[in-house]
Structure 1
C-alpha cells in the first residue's frame, strides 16, 4: 500500500504501555514535513502476569515507584495534582463576580415574587429588616445549592499517586482490547509540546476538541498526555457517566460532569460558565467533544455549541485574553461499541451507562480491535480567529470593541459560534487517518456484486487509497507490508460478524455480513468524496434513463441545479468546502474529468455546456462512477423515506380541525417503521435507510426548509410536536381520501427520488407510488387519530399520555417568531457544496 504520489513525512509513534516505537509515516502531509525514522515490526503489548509474571511485576513496580516519566513530575502546563487543588478551584468559582451576581439577582427575583403573593408587605414598618433577613436566607440557600452542584461537577485532580495508578490500570485495559497500541505522529507531538510550553508561559489554556466515537476517546487522550508529559486536560463529560465506581474514578482522573440539558436553570448555567472562566483564567487545559455525544454512524456529527459557547463568551467578555484551540482526530481499526450503535440506529433504546458496559466484558478485553490513531491539528489562537472573522464585517472595524450585551449583536455572536464549530470539524477531517478497516468496509459496500475476491479487493483498496491521497486525505499503513497482508489484518479485526468469507475453491471471497455495522467504517471515508458523490448522484438521474451516450449526457445547468438541491438537502450530514457551490462544483468536475470518470463539453469560451460518462468509464462498467453513487445513495434513500412519511401526516379528508400537532419522536419512529416496510418490499435499496439518526437529520432539514413546523417548549415534560406547514400540505382525493401524487410536497419528494438507485428490486412508477403512499397514509392516519384522541381526553379532563395536540396562545406566538427567523435564515443562506 505504498503511495505513488505522497510526500515523505515525520514518523508515527506507536505507544504501547511504556514502549514507544517509531513507525515511518506513509500518509500525505504538508510541505513542511521531513523524513525521519524507519519502520519497526509491531511489538507485543504490556507484559501479562500469566505469560510473563516477572516482567509484569517489574512494570508494576516501576509505576508504583514513579520511575522516570512515570513519576509525572515535570509535565508541561499549570500545576495540578496537589491535595487542595479541587478545593481552591471550588472556592474561586463560588467567589466569582458573575456567580455572586446571579445568586443575588435570583434572591431579589424571589423576594419580588413573594411581594406579589402578599408574603412580604412593603408598607409594613419592619419591611426593610424583614426583606434583608429574607434576602440573606435566600442567598444562603442558593449557596448551598451551588455547593452541591459544584461537588458533583468539578474534577478532583488532587492526587498524583492516584493518577499514576489510574494510568497503569487504564493502559492495561485499553491495550488488552487495542493490542497494536496508540499511534501518533512525531512531528505533531513535537509541535504540540512547543505550543504547550508557550501556553504555560502565557498562562493560557489548550482547548482540546476531539471527535467522539467511543468511550475510549477520553481514555486515549489522557493516556497520551500523561505519557508525553503534558498537563492532563479537564474533560467535559455528561453526568450520565457519573454512576457508582466509574463516576468517582473519572472525576479524580480529570472529568467534570455537566447535565445533558440545562433547561431554564439560570443558576446551573452560571455555575458552569463561572467554572469554565476559572479554568481558562488559570491556564488549565480543557477537553470537550465538538460533536457532543458519540457518533453512531462513523462520520462527524454537526457541532454542538454548548461548551464552545461558554468559552467564546469568556473571550468576548474580556474575562480571558486567549485560548489555544487544538482539534484532535481519534480513529480506530474497530470501535468497541459499534454493535450497540447498530441496535440504537434500528430503533432500540439507548442503554443507560453501567460499569460492565463501560469497562467492557471479558470477551471485549480478549478481542483484537487493532490500534488507535490520534492526530493533532496545528493549534491556533481563538482570539486571532475571532478577530479575523470580525474584520470581515464592515460594521465592526474595531474588532473586539463590540457591545455583546446588546441583543442586536446576538446574530453576530451566533455566526461566530457556528463558523468556529465548522472550522474545528474541517480541521479534524483534514488530519484524520483512514484505517485499513475503513478501506475494506468502503470497498465491500460500494460494489454491485454480492461478494469480492481477494485479488479484486486488493485492487480496489489500492485504488481507493490513491483516491484518498489525491483528495488530500491520509491512509494508515503497516510499514512496508503488502496490501494483501494489511487487508488480512483488517479482516481479522472486523471479524466474521461483519465480513463473511465464502467457501471458494479457486479464491478467497468476502461479502458483507452486517451491512449496517460495516457502514460505520465506510462512513469514516465518506467526507473525502462528498463532492464527487453528489455530482455522480445528480448525473445518475440522466444515466439511469439508459440508451446511448447522447441520451445519458446532461446539460451543465441541469446538473448544477440537481447538485445544488442534493447538497442543500444533505447539508446536515456532511461538511462542505468553503469556496461556494460554483467553484467547488467546477473543481469536482475537473477532478472527475482527469480521472476519466466523466467528460465535459465546453463552449468556445471554455464554459461548461454538457457533462456525460467518459468512454473509459463506460468501458470499465461504470465502476468508479457507481462507487461514488454508492457512497451517497443510502442517505438519499433515508431522506426520501423520511419525506414520504411526513406526507402521511396530512389531516384526513373531511376533518375540519387541521391544527393538530403530533409528537415529533412518534413521527420519527413512524418514519422508521415505514422505511422498514419499504425495505422489506424492495422500495428501498438500503437497510441503512432505516437509520434513526439519518431520519432524524432529515426531519431537521425539513424543518429548516419550512416544510414542517416544530414547536418546542421550555417545559421539559412536554416533548416537541410538529405539523406539516399549511403551504406544503399535500392534497387528497375528495372521493377516496387518498393522498394525491401532485402538489408542492410531492414535487419535492419526487426530486429526491430521481437520484435514488434503481435496480432489479425497484422502479419508479405509478404502482410503486400508490403502494408507498398507502403505507405512509396508514401510519400517518394512526398518529393523527392518536393525537386527536389525546386532545379529546384532555378537554374532557381525563389523564392522557401524549403531548397536547393543540398549541397555547404563548406557543402560537413562539411559533410565529420561529417561522420569521427561519425565513430570514433561508434568505441569507448561500448555495451549498
Structure 2
C-alpha cells in the first residue's frame, strides 16, 4: 500500500511540474507573439486587410498600435522602426519608379580557344551541348579524387590520390608493331634498301655467278636489313601500360602538389567538348606548343584524370635515357629522331618508313596521338614556325583513306616560372646541355622541392590542336643558351647546389589549355577553296622593292617555309603548301588560346611601358590597365585576384635577379634588371604578350620609319604609304611571328592593326570628302586580293590620310609598341653588319661574332637592349637573307657555312638590301626621351 501511495505521489508531482512547464512555455510564446516586430507587422497587415474588407475603415486602431501603446512607456524602439519602415517604403518607390540599374556582374573569362569561324565553322559549333550554356568554370584536376572520396571512409579520404589512381579507367592499347611489320610501305622500304645494298656488293665483285648468286646474296642481305628494321621499330614503338599510367598518375599527384601549390586547373567546358568529340569515334590528335619537359607528362596526366584516353606521345630521342625513358614509354611515348635528314644515318629510308607506318597504324587502331608541332622547346617564349613532318603523315592517312577523319586539338602550356631552368646559355650561343640520367634525377628532386603554383588544362573545340601554358616555366629559363655560353659540366657539388637552389625557389602556377577540336577533313576542304594558295610560285621571297610590295606575300612565305623530311619526293608543291598552312593555323590558334600569366603581363609592362622604372603604385595601375585591355581583346588571363597581391606574386616569381625593388609600400621603386642575362630571361616571359601586340607594333614601327625620313611630314601620313611599309616589315619579321592564320591575308591583318592604332588615338582619320567611300573600297579590295579581275582596279586608298597624334598618351602608346619589337630589329641590323664585314665563314662563327658585337654595343651604351643579344634572332635573320637570295649556305668539312651570293658580293649591293632592315631600326626621338 505504501508503494502505491509513493508512486501516486511521484505521478502527481510530475503532473504539477509538467503543467508549470507548459504554462511557462505558453506565456513565453504569448510574450514573443505580442512583442515581436515581425508578428506585429503581420498583425498590422492583417488588421489593415480586415478593415479594408469591412468597408474601408481606418486602421489606426490596429492591434499593432495597441501593442505599441502598451509598450511605449518602456522604450522608444518602435519609433526607430517606424522611421526605418518609412525609409524602406520610399526606397522601394524609387526602385519601382526610377530607371533599372543592373547589378554588377562578375568578371568572366572570354571564350578562348574557339575554332576558326572561317576555316572550321562546323567544328566551332560542334562538340558542345546546345541545351547547356558554357561557363568559364575552372576545375582543379588535383581535387577530383578528394571530391570523389569525400563521402567515403576515413582510409579512402586520407588516401584519396591513391584511391583515385586505382579506380582510373583501363584502356585497351593494341600492339601495332605486328601490323607495322606487315605494312606494305614498310616492306617496300626494306626491299628497296636490300636491292641497293646487293647492287653495291655485286659491283664490288667480279662479274659472274648469275641469278643464283644474286638470289643467295639477296637473302643474306635482306635478313640483315630486316633485323635492322626490327631494331629501328623497337626503338620507335611505345609500350603503353595501364599499370604504369596509374603509377605515374599517383607520382604526379604527389609531385605536382609540391611543384604547383595552386593545383592543375582546366575549364569544365573544354573537358566536356573533348568528351563529346571522343564519342564521335575519331582519333584526337593533340598538338601542343612546347615550353618544358613537363609538357610530356602534364597533358597525359590531365587527360587521364578527367576520364579521357591518354594519347601516344611523340618524344625526342634525347629523352630516351635510362629508367625515365622506360617510364615515358610506358606512358605512351614513342621516340623519334630530332633530325631525319642531313646525314646518311638520319636519312635512312627504313627509319622514315617505320615511323610513318607506326603513326598510320596507331591512328587506324583509334589511338589518340600527341606531337609538339614546333619540334623543340621554344627558347624565346614566342610560338615557333611549325615542323610539319608528323602532320604530313596524318594528312597522308586521311588522303589515302587509312582514317576517315581526325580531330586536331591545339594545346598550350604556360608557367609562372620555368621549372627547367632558363635558356640564357643557349641564347648566348652556348651548346645545349644533353639530358642524362643524373641530370634527370637532379631535375626531378629539384622540381619536387619547389612550388610552381597551379596548373590549368583547357580543351577547345576539335581542330585537334593542343595548347599548354604555364605561369612560371617548370623547366627554368633559356637565358644562357641565348648568350652562347659553353656547356656546363655536371659535378656532385653542382648537383647539390642545384638541389639547394630549387628547394628555395617558388615557381608559381601552371596553365594547360586545350582548344576546340577541329576536323582535319573540314580544314582540307576549306583550304582547297583559297585560290591564293594554289597560284604558281613565280619567284621566292626577294628583297623588297617598290615594284612588288606585298604581292603574293602570304603565298611566298608559305612556299619558302614548306619543307619536311617526311613528305616524300613524290609530293606536289600544292600539297606541301596546304600542310604548311594547316600547321601554321594550328600554331596560331594555340598561341591565341594561351592563357597569359601574371609574370607575362608584368614582364611585358616592365620592358615596354615602365622600362626606366616606376613606383609600385604606377606599376599596379599599368598592370591592371594592360590586363583589362588584354581581356577586352579576348585573351584569357590565367590569374585572378587583387592587383597588389598579383603584382607581389609576380615580382616574387621573377625574383630579385630580374626585378629590383627599393623601399616598401606604394612608393617603392621598381626597376627591371636590364643586363644581358636578366633582360633575356625577362623577354622570355614578356614575349608571350608581345606576340599578341606584334601586328600593332609592326604598324607603329612602320609609321616611325616614315616620319624619320628626311623632309617627311610629321603630322600626316598616307594610308597607302603606311600600309606598304608595314607589309615590308611583315616580310622582314615573318620568321619571328605568325601574325595571322593562313586563311586571313596579311594585308587584311595589317588593316585591322591600323584600325587599332586609330582606336587607341595614336592616329586620327584625316580624309577628304570621298575618304569614307575609298576606305570601304579598300576593305573590299583587301578581302578579294586573290581575284584576277581586281588587278586592274586603281589604288582605292589614294585619298586616305591619317593625322599623327602628339599628345602624351598617344606618344606613350607609340613608345610601348616600338619597344615591343625594337630588340629584334637591333639584332637583325647587327647581323647584317656582321655579314657585310665577314663576307663568308661558318655560321657558328658568324653568330658568335654578331653576339660579341651586340654585347659590346650594349656595354658601351650604344644599344640599350640587353635582350637583343639572342642567337634565335640572329639565326632567323640568316634564314631571311637566304630566302632573299643574299647569302648562300654550303658545307665545308662537315661545317655549315655562309657566304654572300655573287651578285651581292660588293659592299654597295649588300648595303642596298640591308637598308630594308636598317630603315626600321631608326634612332627615334620617342625612345631617346624616355
* TM-score class, shorter: 0.7 to 0.9
Residue of 428, 435, 448 corresponding to 2:597: 435
Deviation at 1:186, TM superposition (A): 0.9
- Once the two structures are superposed, residues 67-94 of structure 1 have per-residue CA deviations (whole angstroms, 9 ceiling, x without a partner) of 456422266xxx22xxxx5xx3222211
The residue aligned with 1:557 is: 720
Residue of 420, 428, 436 corresponding to 2:582: 420
Deviation at 1:477, TM superposition (A): 2.8
- Once the two structures are superposed, residues 802-826 of structure 1 have per-residue CA deviations (whole angstroms, 9 ceiling, x without a partner) of xxxxxxxxxxxxxxxxxxxxxxxxx
Structure 2: distance between partners of 1:487 and 1:11: 24
The residue aligned with 2:626 is: 464
Would the alpha carbon gap of residues 101 and 545 (structure 1) be closer, same or farther in structure 2, given more than 3 Å must change?
Answer: closer
Find the residue that maps to 2:691 and give its secondary structure.
Answer: helix
The residue aligned with 2:824 is: 635
Find the residue that maps to 1:475 and give its secondary structure.
Answer: coil
Structure 2: distance between partners of 1:3 and 1:611: 39
Q: Superposed, which structure 2 residues align to 1:108-507 within 5 Å?
A: 108-118=195-205, 121=207, 123-124=208-209, 127-158=210-241, 160-199=242-281, 204-262=282-340, 263-339=346-422, 341-354=423-436, 355-356=440-441, 358-361=443-446, 362=499, 363-364=501-502, 367-392=505-530, 410-447=572-609, 449-478=611-640, 481-503=641-663, 507=667
Structure 1: distance between partners of 2:184 and 2:354: 11
Residue of 695, 698, 704 corresponding to 2:883: 704
The residue aligned with 1:745 is: 910
Would the alpha carbon gap of residues 492 and 648 (structure 1) be closer, same or farther in structure 2, given more than 3 Å must change?
Answer: same
Find the residue that maps to 2:286 and give its secondary structure.
Answer: strand
Deviation at 1:365, TM superposition (A): 5.6
Deviation at 1:188, TM superposition (A): 1.0
Would the alpha carbon gap of residues 228 and 499 (structure 1) be closer, same or farther in structure 2, given more than 3 Å must change?
Answer: same
Residue of 50, 54, 73 corresponding to 2:169: 73
Deviation at 1:528, TM superposition (A): 1.6
- Once the two structures are superposed, residues 619-645 of structure 1 have per-residue CA deviations (whole angstroms, 9 ceiling, x without a partner) of 337111111111010111111111111
Check if 1:723 corresponds to 2:888: no
The residue aligned with 1:609 is: 800
Residue of 724, 731, 744 corresponding to 1:568: 731
Are the equivalent residues in 2 in contact too, given 1:303–1:422 (CA < 8 A)? yes
The residue aligned with 1:585 is: 750
Are the equivalent residues in 1 in contact too, given 2:811–2:926 (CA < 8 A)? no
Deviates more, 1:244-253 or 1:267-276: 244-253
Find the residue that maps to 1:427 and give its secondary structure.
Answer: helix
- Once the two structures are superposed, residues 339-360 of structure 1 have per-residue CA deviations (whole angstroms, 9 ceiling, x without a partner) of 2x01210122211113235425
Deviates more, 1:386-395 or 1:127-136: 386-395
Structure 1: distance between partners of 2:311 and 2:140: 32
Deviation at 1:369, TM superposition (A): 1.5
Deviates more, 1:640-649 or 1:163-172: 163-172
Deviates more, 1:170-179 or 1:36-45: 36-45
Deviation at 1:163, TM superposition (A): 1.7
Would the alpha carbon gap of residues 386 and 357 (structure 1) be closer, same or farther in structure 2, given more than 3 Å must change?
Answer: farther
TM-align CA RMSD: 3.6
Structure 2: distance between partners of 1:394 and 1:624: 35
Are the equivalent residues in 2 in contact too, given 1:730–1:745 (CA < 8 A)? yes
Deviation at 1:107, TM superposition (A): 1.1
Structure 2: distance between partners of 1:645 and 1:32: 62
Find the residue that maps to 2:334 and give its secondary structure.
Answer: strand
Deviation at 1:36, TM superposition (A): 4.5
Question: Aligned pair count?
Answer: 684
Structure 2: distance between partners of 1:37 and 1:471: 17
Are the equivalent residues in 2 in contact too, given 1:542–1:553 (CA < 8 A)? no
Structure 1: distance between partners of 2:659 and 2:181: 55
The residue aligned with 2:697 is: 533
Structure 1: distance between partners of 2:356 and 2:228: 16
Deviation at 1:408, TM superposition (A): 7.4
Would the alpha carbon gap of residues 569 and 240 (structure 1) be closer, same or farther in structure 2, given more than 3 Å must change?
Answer: same
Structure 1: distance between partners of 2:112 and 2:198: 65
Are the equivalent residues in 1 in contact too, given 2:513–2:593 (CA < 8 A)? yes
Would the alpha carbon gap of residues 582 and 559 (structure 1) be closer, same or farther in structure 2, given more than 3 Å must change?
Answer: same
Would the alpha carbon gap of residues 139 and 625 (structure 1) be closer, same or farther in structure 2, given more than 3 Å must change?
Answer: same
Are the equivalent residues in 2 in contact too, given 1:327–1:379 (CA < 8 A)? yes
- Once the two structures are superposed, residues 153-190 of structure 1 have per-residue CA deviations (whole angstroms, 9 ceiling, x without a partner) of 211113x2222111111232233122212221111110
Q: Superposed, which structure 2 residues align to 1:758-797 within 5 Å?
A: 758=923
Q: Structure 2 length as normaliser, TM-score?
A: 0.68
The residue aligned with 1:620 is: 809
